[in-house]
């Protein structure tokens, strides 16, 4: 809190390198791109969302034998990496490279690179499983005698979480601060917070944020072991909801300090709220305490009131417990008037890539002037309280919130808005 | 970027807590590596205690070591957890199960496999709803965590606990990614020169690869070079006296993180 102290000697203020503010300075999302099972690039997502199309299909991924649906990016779209990046070759990085190549994103980063210099652009990315599939496959190819992993297994290039950060830095020619955040399903929402802090602290002038998570057996069989996988396409906030459908995808945004006179329509990051549940490793707080705190902090960081938000993209995983606790939290903060929906019926749950995906779906909704409904949800749960959108609505949101809540009780809410 | 150090935690082979380790770091007591014994903190509920693996125990114990000498043991304390590899034992067991015909995955193992498992258990143990981030930056995870915690400290004007931890992987992963020793380090950082602050540190990213600071003692130098959390040791050495020093830490993409230490 910045307090008014009339007789503080000037030297004390001067010793502090950065003065904390209650509200954050807005950041412009000057370029962004998204690839999921709905398609490659933003245009495909606009069309799919407007048509209420779902990318979910019965699971035929790799050797998985599970009665579930997934949002898979077709294998044939995931080309091997070029020779100079071969050390990073795995499904996750193929997906990331495909995503980076869309919507002129690489060109936008190149322009920023010549404007700021490669050392002044940070890379803040989220993933939950990185190139885990590569390690799973390597474990099936262990030496029968020694148990050793195959020679071609590249730990630093594919398994380590930071392989994603190194790969993206190398591909985009960036040399500033870099980190990979891995906080399960809030990972690629929390990267916005890290980037905003680094820009505010003067460590960098711009940032590539986002992340990627691809299908692997660990998450498919792991969520199956927790009995959280739906046998049908997931139905967020539905009375008959029965668990999640896992999806895959990658999305990126270029963040820069917002100029005083911004081009109208530019999407801006206005606020961020983070919190911890302090309740349980894999079950959300029953009354949504952590979720509520994250949303309230995001509003206060944006300097906005609940009534200023025109649309909420819910975490809405379609598990019984997530949707019930998130409903209580949203209702508590916003009441029953703010339109909200989960788009996981369209994309599936992208885990570490859910945060960036849903932040960008909010950006699409603001740019294209509609509110996305909830494909696959049929009958909203009558015991839930929020104003849940089944169908798309012909309204033009000016400000939107995106919720991401992860295992370990890691919560993050983002507020985005259109510049005027 | 300027922050103030209020307290330190350290747990590793022959390094049993910050108080006992200061003399070892300064060379006033011999460095005698011994196995690190880790129990789950009493502050966790019984059910959670049973589910904790070694990385969670290491991270929680070293974080609590830093809070031993602080009055900031409160639920509002923000935290940053950093580790290159996370829980290698859980990873190994999941991969073995998935390579078998049955593919029987344990639900507890699965939820413990997330990189933010220590942060989750920490928030439960401290009943803390404060923001917490978990990150990875390969061999440079300590430097990245220090930057992350420092940026949060100065931009939000709040104290931040940084916890860095790293354990060796079991075979066959160990051969692909060798890590030496079980090591945790923690720093409680404050945005202002509080009464508890005993040193000031200034953080600066520098382009180009300046040789990193080393440890004089051979055993401690091996730990520094062999364990991503070990990269913190030269900084902890400067903080042990404390003495004015410029510590050079290797950082991602060939950069270095220069840390200027100034005692208060």
Read off the pLDDT of each residue in B200-220 and give the average, rounded to a whole number. 95
Q: Is the ipTM of this complex over 0.95?
A: yes
For residues A254 and A360, is the Cβ–Cβ distance under 8 A?
A: no
- Eight-class DSSP state of A383: T
pLDDT band at B143; cut points 50, 70, 90:
very high
Helix axes B18-25, B54-68, angle to 10 degrees: 90
Identify the active-site residue in A59, A185, A204, A362: A185
Which of chain A's residues have a Cβ under 8 Å away from the Cβ of B156?
A: 20, 197
Which residues of chain A carry a pLDDT beneath 50?
Answer: 1-19
Say what the pLDDT of residue A96 is.
98
For residues B4 and B189, is the Cβ–Cβ distance under 8 A?
A: yes
Which of chain B's residues have a Cβ under 8 Å away from the Cβ of A142?
A: 99, 172
Judged by CB atoms closer than 8 Å, whether chains meet at B112 and A176 is answered as no
SS3 A282: coil
For residues B112 and A281, is the Cβ–Cβ distance under 8 A?
A: yes
Upstream peptide bond of B35 is cis (omega within 30 degrees of 0): no
Residue B7, CA distances (Å) to A87, A147, A283, B123, B200 in order: 40, 44, 33, 19, 12
Query: Residue B11 contacts by C-beta under 8 Å, 6 or more apart in sequence?
Result: B17, B36, B38, B58, B61, B62, B65, B182, B183, B184, B185
Residues 137-166 (A) with a CB less than 8 A from some CB of B: 138-140, 142, 147-149, 153, 155-156, 159-163, 165-166
Which of chain A's residues have a Cβ under 8 Å away from the Cβ of B153?
A: none
Tokens matching residue A133: 């599939």
Judged by CB atoms closer than 8 Å, whether chains meet at B114 and A408 is answered as yes
Say what the pLDDT of residue A1 is.
36
User: CA-nearest residue of chain A to B116?
Assistant: A183
SS3 A187: helix
Judged by CB atoms closer than 8 Å, whether chains meet at B133 and A183 is answered as yes
Identify the active-site residue in A204, A234, A349, A362: A349
Judged by CB atoms closer than 8 Å, whether chains meet at B133 and A274 is answered as yes
Which residue in B88, B92, B95, B142 has the most chain A C-beta atoms within 10 A of its own C-beta, making it the best mutation to test that interface?
Answer: B95
Which of chain A's residues have a Cβ under 8 Å away from the Cβ of B152?
A: 197
Residues 69-128 (A) with a CB less than 8 A from some CB of B: 119, 128
Say what the pLDDT of residue A21 is.
59
Identify the active-site residue in A45, A159, A285, A315: A315
Which residue in A182, A191, A279 has the most chain B C-beta atoms within 10 A of its own C-beta, making it the best mutation to test that interface?
Answer: A182
> How far is the C-alpha of A236 from the C-alpha of A247, rounded, in Å?
14
Residues 169-188 (A) with a CB less than 8 A from some CB of B: 169, 174-184
DSSP track, chain B: -EEEEEEEEEEETTEESHHHHHHHHTTSS-----PPP----TTS-HHHHHH--HHHHHHHHHHHHHHHT-S--STT-EEEEE-SS--HHHHHHHHHHHHSSS----HHHHHHTSTTHHHHHHHHHHT--S-EEEEE-GGGHHHHHHHHHHHHHHHHT--EEEEEEE-PPPTTHHHHS---S-EEEEEEEESS--TT--EEEEEEEESS-PPPP--SSHHHHHHHHHSGGGGGHHHHHHHHTT--EEEEEE-GGG-EEEEEEEE-
> How far is the C-alpha of B58 from the C-alpha of B136, rounded, in Å?
17
Residues 4-33 (B) with a CB less than 8 A from some CB of A: none
Say what the pLDDT of residue A125 is.
98
Q: Does B255 touch chain A if contact means CB atoms closer than 8 Å?
A: yes
SS3 A379: coil
Say what the pLDDT of residue B69 is.
82
> How far is the C-alpha of B50 from the C-alpha of A332, rounded, in Å?
34
Judged by CB atoms closer than 8 Å, whether chains meet at B129 and A182 is answered as no
Q: Does A223 touch chain B if contact means CB atoms closer than 8 Å?
A: yes
Residue A349 designated active-site:
yes
Helix axes A289-302, A320-334, angle to 10 degrees: 40
Residue A127, CA distances (Å) to A160, A178, A332 in order: 11, 14, 30
SS3 A178: strand
Judged by CB atoms closer than 8 Å, whether chains meet at A409 and B127 is answered as no
> How far is the C-alpha of A261 from the C-alpha of A393, rounded, in Å?
30
């Amino acid at each position: 809190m910045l307090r008014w102290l009339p007789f503080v000697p000037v030297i004390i203020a001067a010793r502090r390198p950065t003065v904390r503010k209650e509200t954050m300075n807005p950041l412009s999302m000057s370029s962004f791109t998204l690839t999921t099972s709905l398609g490659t690039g933003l245009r495909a997502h606009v069309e799919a969302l407007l048509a209420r199309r779902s990318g979910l299909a019965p699971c035929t991924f790799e050797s998985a034998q599970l009665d579930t649906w997934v949002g898979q990016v077709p294998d044939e779209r995931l080309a091997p990496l070029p020779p100079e990046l071969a050390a990073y070759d795995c499904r996750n990085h193929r997906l990331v490279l495909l995503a980076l190549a869309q919507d002129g994103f690489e060109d936008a980063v190149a322009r920023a690179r010549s404007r700021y210099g490669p050392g002044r652009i940070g890379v803040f990315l989220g993933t939950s499983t990185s190139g885990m599939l590569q390690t799973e496959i390597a474990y099936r190819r262990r030496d029968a005698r020694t148990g050793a992993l195959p020679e071609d297994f590249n730990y630093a290039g594919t398994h380590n979480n930071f392989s994603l950060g190194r790969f993206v830095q190398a591909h985009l020619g960036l040399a500033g601060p870099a980190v990979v955040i891995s906080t399960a399903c809030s990972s690629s929402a929390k990267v916005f917070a890290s980037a905003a802090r680094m820009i505010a602290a003067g460590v960098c002038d711009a940032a590539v944020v986002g992340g990627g998570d691809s299908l692997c057996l660990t998450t498919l069989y792991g969520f199956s072991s927790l009995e959280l996988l739906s046998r049908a396409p997931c139905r967020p906030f539905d009375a008959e909801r029965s668990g999640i459908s896992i999806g895959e995808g990658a999305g990126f945004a270029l963040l820069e300090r917002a100029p005083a006179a911004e081009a109208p329509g530019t999407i801006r990051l206005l606020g961020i709220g983070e919190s911890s549940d302090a309740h349980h490793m894999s079950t959300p707080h029953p009354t949504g305490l952590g979720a509520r705190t994250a949303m309230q902090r995001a509003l206060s960081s944006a300097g906005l009131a609940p009534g200023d938000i025109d649309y909420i993209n819910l975490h809405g995983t379609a598990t019984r417990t997530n949707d019930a606790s998130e409903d209580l939290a949203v209702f508590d903060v916003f009441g029953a008037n703010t339109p909200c929906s989960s788009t996981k019926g369209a994309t599936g749950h992208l885990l570490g890539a859910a945060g960036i995906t849903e932040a960008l779906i909010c950006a699409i909704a603001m740019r294209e002037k509609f509110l996305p409904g909830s494909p696959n949800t049929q009958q909203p749960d009558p015991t839930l309280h929020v104003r849940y959108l089944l169908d798309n609505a012909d309204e033009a949101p000016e400000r939107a919130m995106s919720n991401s809540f992860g295992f370990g009780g890691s919560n993050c809410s983002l507020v985005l808005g259109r510049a005027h | 970027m300027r922050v103030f150090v209020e307290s330190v935690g350290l747990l590793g082979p022959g390094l049993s807590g910050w108080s006992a380790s200061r003399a070892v770091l300064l060379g006033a007591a011999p460095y005698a590596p011994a196995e690190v014994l880790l129990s789950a903190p009493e502050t966790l509920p019984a059910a959670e205690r049973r589910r904790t693996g070694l990385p969670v125990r290491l991270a929680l114990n070293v974080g609590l070591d830093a809070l031993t000498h602080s009055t900031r043991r409160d639920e509002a304390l923000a935290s940053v957890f950093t580790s290159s590899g996370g829980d290698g034992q859980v990873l190994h067991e999941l991969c073995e199960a998935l390579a078998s015909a049955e593919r029987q995955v344990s639900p507890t193992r699965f939820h413990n496999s997330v990189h933010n498992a220590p942060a989750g258990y920490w928030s439960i143990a401290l009943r803390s709803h404060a923001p917490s981030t978990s990150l990875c930056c390969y061999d440079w995870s300590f430097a990245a965590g220090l930057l992350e915690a420092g940026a949060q400290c100065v931009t939000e004007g709040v104290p931040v606990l940084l916890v860095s931890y790293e354990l060796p992987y079991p075979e066959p992963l160990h051969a692909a990614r060798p890590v030496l020793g079980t090591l945790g380090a923690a720093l409680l950082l404050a945005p202002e020169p509080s009464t508890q602050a005993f040193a000031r540190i200034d953080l600066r990213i520098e382009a180009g690869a300046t040789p990193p600071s080393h440890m004089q003692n051979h055993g401690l130098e091996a730990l520094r070079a062999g364990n991503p959390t070990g990269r913190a040791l030269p900084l902890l050495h400067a903080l042990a006296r404390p003495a004015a020093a410029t510590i050079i830490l290797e950082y991602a993409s060939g950069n270095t993180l220069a840390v200027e230490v100034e005692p208060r």
